A and B are shown apart, each in its own frame.
Chain A
């Protein structure tokens, strides 16, 4: 084996500068001389005038049949040597004027600008900033609680590029056999303001209860420690200001089993007796859901969620004969596409 490798090495080196001594070194081997040795010897390896080293660069490479086998552990591969072996500039400078300017249009001269236009447009459109559609039903669930069981949906999605998107959201909940409690849809335009955060602005329409339109400003994104955060301010056409903060965290137990703690806080700037909302902290929800991803896109889940009406909101709830504290056992499905 070693002999053979030496033969190969010798054959290869036959084309290189130090062919003669190496070939001589291996002359005892039985292999025929390489038939492929070039007719003319290549020029001497140039010693760069800029280098301070007197030796031809990397002598091991040319003399050692095992050249390059494990340079990383040899001494001659340091960064300093790199600079001296193949010197070059270390500060970036602009291209010379001879490099020209303007868009790349070499192909237009061959095929014609008209012939090139469609393919140029297509290349530009499909390499980088192209639109995708995403829809997610984050929570679609039945809520089992002490008195009247209920339901909830929480949907969102977008269409757009990586930094500029049209978002839509919808949330709603209610109890079976009763009128729907809350339902809203949002249409938002979002721009990326940082790697992990989108700034969103648009409108929200409440479609249950008193018809209300809100202006929305919010941020949505991924916080450190991988919290999915959605926070928004809502200003209704009546001048009422409310806020909502949601955070979710995916804790992967296995590749398919995921535990998701979730928290939501609702705030109000003033009392809205008609909506049963009191100024300040209005409602807090804390829950945890355990989902199993049958495929990434489809995951049924079970969970438990506790919600509290707080402060004046709790009083409003009591006045309506409702318990301000509710524990829900939830069964639902999360899906997206």
Chain B
């Protein structure tokens, strides 16, 4: 066996070759980046390199500055923490105290939100909810005890800065031993790069329907849709191809800040156990992650340990994290493929047995299509416990199945039967669809992965490793409807955009145990994120082992439930983590009353 004492616990963000190689620690280059250049999304200013260094200790200084990034020869706007994209790896230890001194060298306000961290609410970093934000030239000090361990990340919660690079990885080592052994410890932070100003993207999403989708259905496409199905989608004024609002070539998908041709590699020796901490730090992208030839054992989700589960592929929604263990064999290299959910592009990295070793990269698979089930149209009373029964998986009907369902369902079918909504949902132009028979799809592996031949992760396969502390039966149900209007690009909870409910929080009593049911009345998958607390997915496990998460993907036309113990007092952001959906209105404040009682 290999000598674990030597190679154990090397942590690297991977090695970049070629243009993106950064030999100087990223933060050391901070000064050149932060020399007072203007606007938050200009393409001017100094070049911001890809990749990141590592910071640890009890006091960490961070600086947010602007510049430009070049990915695969394309120049785009950059906002960087300590001069690199992603920002530096922040590595802490459970039980320590931390002070972050964050200096803003932008010409606009900024912030850092510590995604998934249990912090006092005023340290959570959401301007307008938890604190006033950090003004230009100001230094703000975050300080809090580190109460947890695992894989997390941080990002701006100001404007659209996340799109331009304001994000970075964070690891908190446990106070005790890790529950799993490994020889190498790597970070794979997936994200999306664009040459465009994110404000332009936001505007085009509102005004130019399908603007960023280069896979729209057409007379000459290869989609397995019948004429009848195409007419049906047209009649409903819904695009079956709206898998992700933004895909390639608008986006280049990044692995640790590097494009797929920019050679991110992780070294290994055959037989080593490698921990790969996969973070989806993108603004608006879902990825389907696989390593052809290598099974992956999921050991943590959103920073929380889960019972190991072996899969061949998993979907990672925006802002989710998964820790996996892989054991490379004798091949010279293995490709780590982060295919975008719409299959317009991929983030790519290599597990390499020697520098420069390369594995064959599989071609992009055919883009998936939405089906009638994604409109909440389901056959029968339940969906067999959440696993997908459309797409012909169990019926042997192949691609014809949705069409058959459609034709048989379309007569007198109301895609917007608002009588199905509870009275607390505001019905208006912002609700273009009502899911007819939403079912729990915790067992759904995600769009595009429902009919792949190998083992794919779904939420039902996750179980908390350490038992949950609070296993009380929830005392009440809170039902929230995810609503939207694709054409107007309005997104909301219960039909009200944040702009309409900024003063109307979702309220929880102190230590209240609540089951939250999210019903998706849209045709898009939404990664819903709660700040400040973990919740436990109601996924068929017993209460003690329901997996703890801070992001839950609610599948199109489906529902998802989580249990929450409201034991972190204060005001918290609660939103769709697709950045442009959040700005489109899918956000609300959650208020947890403190132990002192109602204010």
What residues of chain A have their CB less than 8 Å away from a CB belonging to chain B? Answer: 1, 4-5, 8-9, 11-16, 30, 34-36, 38, 42-43, 45-46, 48, 50, 56-58, 61, 66-73, 76-79, 81-82, 85-107, 110-111, 115-116, 118-130, 132-134, 162-163, 192-196, 222, 224-226, 251-255, 296-297, 336
Contacts and interface: CB of A to CB of B under 8 A. Distances in A.
B541 A58 contact: yes
B248 to A, nearest CB: 13
19 contacts: A8-B308, A12-B179, A12-B307, A46-B471, A48-B473, A69-B310, A71-B443, A82-B540, A104-B589, A106-B121, A106-B570, A110-B122, A116-B128, A122-B109, A127-B499, A192-B488, A195-B432, A222-B487, A226-B237
A297 B466 CA distance: 54
B527 interface: no
A224 B237 CA distance: 6
Contacts of B181: 8, 11, 34-36
B502 interface: yes
Given A1-B295, A118-B132, A128 B499 contact: yes
B196 interface: no
B540 A76 contact: yes
A215 to B, nearest CB: 24
Contacts of B497: 127-129
B310 A124 contact: no
B583 A127 contact: yes
Given A77-B540, A111-B132, A196-B432, A129 B500 contact: yes
B500 A128 contact: yes
A43 to B, nearest CB: 7
What are the 4 closest A-B residue pairs judged by CB atoms, nearest first?
A128-B497, A123-B128, A72-B387, A128-B585
Given A1-B327, A68-B460, A104-B571, A123 B467 contact: no
Contacts of A16: 307, 465
Contacts of A35: 177, 181
Given A100-B593, A196-B487, A127 B582 contact: yes
Nearest to A224: B235
B492 interface: yes
B159 A99 contact: no
Interface of B: 1, 109, 121-122, 126-133, 159, 176-181, 203, 206-208, 211, 214-220, 231, 234-237, 273, 295, 297, 299, 305, 307-311, 325, 327, 329, 382-388, 416, 422, 428-432, 439-440, 442-443, 455, 458, 460-463, 465-467, 471, 473-479, 485, 487-490, 492, 497-500, 502-505, 507-510, 512, 515, 517, 538-546, 561, 563, 569-571, 582-585, 587, 589, 591, 593, 597-599
A46 B542 contact: yes
Contacts of A86: 538, 540-543, 546, 563
A261 B503 CA distance: 47
A264 B230 CA distance: 26
B543 A48 contact: yes
Nearest to A163: B429
A251 B218 CA distance: 7
A1 B597 CA distance: 55
Nearest to B123: A110
Contacts of A118: 132
Q: Which of B305, B476, B510, B570 has the most CB of A within 10 A?
A: B476
B541 A85 contact: yes
B455 A69 contact: yes
Contact of B476 (A73, A93, A123): A93
A97 B509 CA distance: 8
Given A93-B476, A100-B591, A254 B218 contact: yes
B542 A95 contact: no
Contacts of A111: 122, 131-132
Contacts of B443: 71-72, 77
Contacts of B231: 225
Contact of B385 (A4, A82, A128): A82
Nearest to A45: B544
B230 to A, nearest CB: 10
Nearest to A49: B473
A72 B477 contact: no
Given A195-B429, A196-B487, A5 B297 contact: yes
A126 B127 contact: no
B307 A8 contact: no
Contacts of B176: 36, 38
Nearest to A258: B218
Contact of A61 (B217, B387, B463, B570): B463
Given A92-B478, A93-B476, A99-B512, 12 more contacts: A1-B329, A8-B181, A12-B305, A36-B181, A45-B544, A68-B461, A88-B477, A100-B598, A128-B490, A163-B430, A195-B431, A225-B237
Contacts of A115: 132
A95 B477 CA distance: 9
Nearest to A115: B132
Nearest to B127: A119
A297 B203 CA distance: 13
A314 B307 CA distance: 80
A128 B515 CA distance: 27
B485 A93 contact: no
B508 A128 contact: no
A225 B235 contact: yes
A173 B490 CA distance: 36
B385 A88 contact: no
Contacts of B462: 68
Contacts of A128: 490, 492, 497-500, 583-585, 587
A50 B472 CA distance: 11
A35 B305 CA distance: 17
B227 to A, nearest CB: 13
B51 to A, nearest CB: 29
Given A103-B503, A123-B502, A195 B487 contact: yes
B488 A77 contact: no
B492 A88 contact: no
A99 B598 CA distance: 6
